[in-house]
Structure 1
Amino acid sequence: MGLRIFETDPDAKPQEREEYKRPEYAFQFRTGMQVNKKPVSLAKWRVLAAGQDTANGIAELMGGEAREFDATKEHDWVIMTDSESVEIVLSGADAIEEKLIQWAGPGLPIHECDGVYSLMQDDLGELCGCPATLKERKEKHRKKKGPGPGIVVTFRLAGLGYELGVGRWIATSWLFAEVVHEVKEALDQINGEALCRLEIEKVEYTKDDGELVSFKKPVITVLGSYADAVAEER
């Protein structure tokens, strides 16, 4: 028999949390997927889309074939694209929402902060208690005892893909978290919407002991004004 403490003290029963809400997006970019319940890093973008028309438009723009994914979810189509790079449009630095986050389950954040102060409603603005050094932060996150990057990038696809609606990519890479301030500084130099390149970059180098190191990292490069780019094409 389980604990029955809430029968004797109903006021102590935890209140149900409201579902963690995000804006609606027409599509989501992913750099990985689950294979046999294990995470796999991809060399080309995987995109989840809401509806067949959106999925077909992304497949036409980025290559790959659109197929039905999960009819029970809002994003019910998936495209394994042929592209490791795509041009996107960002509305400005505010299109990138920086935070560290730890989840208890889908839609249930148990820790959310900017690295120093809490972003959770219950203790908003209070010290978050995270370690001071990046090394310690990474180690706690690796052990599932602390938050990791949850950087939300909201964008449109450039060119003909602009009409497909607003999409997002959630960056969970520490490598991206370490340089995202540089991207936002570059966006601040653009008047209006910015044309950017979003890519999965493959990095390889040989260590002093001869060991070959190879990994993939997401990169955003600010190219310039989107309005100027459109005007040049015309």
Structure 2
Amino acid sequence: MMAEGIGFGTIVGRFRAEEVRQDGQPAACPGWLLTTQGEEVAALVTGLYGGRPRSCNQKPGTFEVVLEKDAIAVTVDGPSSVINHLVLGERHDPIHVCNGSAFLAPMDSVGHPCGCPESAFARKAAARSGRGPKPDARLTFRLAAAPDAGLFGLSSSSWTFYESLSAAVDAMERANAKARMEIRLQRKVVTTRSGMTVSYVHPTFSVVERESAAPGDLQLAA
């Protein structure tokens, strides 16, 4: 079995809440979309959460499964398993990377104020206009139901996921802990002014339990 890499470690599969259509635009998936280069990984995850395999003509050797369960329990090793930045420009060649208050890149700007608005509303408005950075949120985890299956990855540009990851990282840093968490698809249906109904699906992330550094000391999350 070949493992995949998505920028923050070698993993055996990826979970996605959205995909890129042939016209280059993002589209919501009907359920969690698992992509993997391991047939046995696809079979294992499908057995745990149900799913509908589908062809992946653009990536020979890649297996795709649309899972049937929206909420999946996972284990995260700690803050080092998370990348949660705001980025302006392409991920492989960004011109601005920050944490909302200070620059993380480029190197000559690290630690200096990034100039992003304090309010979430203003940040989102700047990102929509192309003047401000948008989320680059990435997570590695193990499946709580099959921890020996290997590491999985999830990445998203969703503000909902970025904000939920920020809260989870704060909890992990305070506890100096691994954490049992849950990834979940959050669905929202809105009607536009023209009367069109639009469905949105965003990934979100919440702490279920956090495991203290001391072995066997398990605490319920606040």
**Shared fold (TM-score, shorter chain, > 0.5):** yes
Correspondence list, 1:149-160, <5 A: 149-160=135-146
Which residue of 84, 101, 104 corresponds with 1:98? 84
Number of matched residues?
Answer: 203
On the 8 A contact 2:96/2:106 being kept in 1, the answer is no
Shift of 1:62: 2.1
Correspondence list, 1:41-120, <5 A: 41-67=28-54, 69=56, 76-104=62-90, 107-120=92-105
> How far does the alpha carbon of each residue in 1:15-72 deviate from its partner, in whole angstroms, 9 at most, with x for none?
xxxxx95422211111112334232223410112132222222222222144553675
Q: Which of these two proteins has the greater Rg computed from alpha carbons?
A: 1
Structure number having the greater helix percentage? 1
On the 8 A contact 1:100/1:113 being kept in 2, the answer is yes
Q: What is the rounded CA distance, in whole Å, between the counterparts of 2:176 and 2:124 in structure 1?
A: 35
Correspondence list, 1:158-177, <5 A: 158-160=144-146, 162-177=147-162
Q: What is the rounded CA distance, in whole Å, between the counterparts of 2:138 and 2:68 in structure 1?
A: 23
On the 8 A contact 1:194/1:223 being kept in 2, the answer is yes
Shift of 1:183: 2.0
Q: What is the rounded CA distance, in whole Å, between the counterparts of 1:128 and 1:189 in structure 2?
A: 25
3-state DSSP of counterpart to 1:98: strand
Q: What is the rounded CA distance, in whole Å, between the counterparts of 1:147 and 1:65 in structure 2?
A: 35
Q: What is the rounded CA distance, in whole Å, between the counterparts of 1:159 and 1:194 in structure 2?
A: 14
**Long gaps (5+) in structure 1:** 1-19, 207-211, 229-234
Change (3 A) 1:190 1:70: farther
3-state DSSP of counterpart to 1:153: strand
Change (3 A) 1:152 1:95: same
Change (3 A) 1:179 1:159: closer
* TM-score, normalised by the number of residues in structure 1: 0.71
Shift of 1:149: 0.9
Which residue of 179, 183, 188 corresponds with 2:168? 183
* TM-score, normalised by the number of residues in structure 2: 0.74
In the alignment, is residue 135 of structure 1 matched against residue 92 of structure 2?
Answer: no
On the 8 A contact 2:179/2:210 being kept in 1, the answer is yes
2:3 aligned residue: none
On the 8 A contact 2:30/2:66 being kept in 1, the answer is no
Question: Which deviates further from its counterpart, 189-198 or 31-40?
Answer: 189-198
1:194 aligned residue: 179
Question: Which deviates further from its counterpart, 192-201 or 84-93?
Answer: 192-201
Shift of 1:99: 0.8
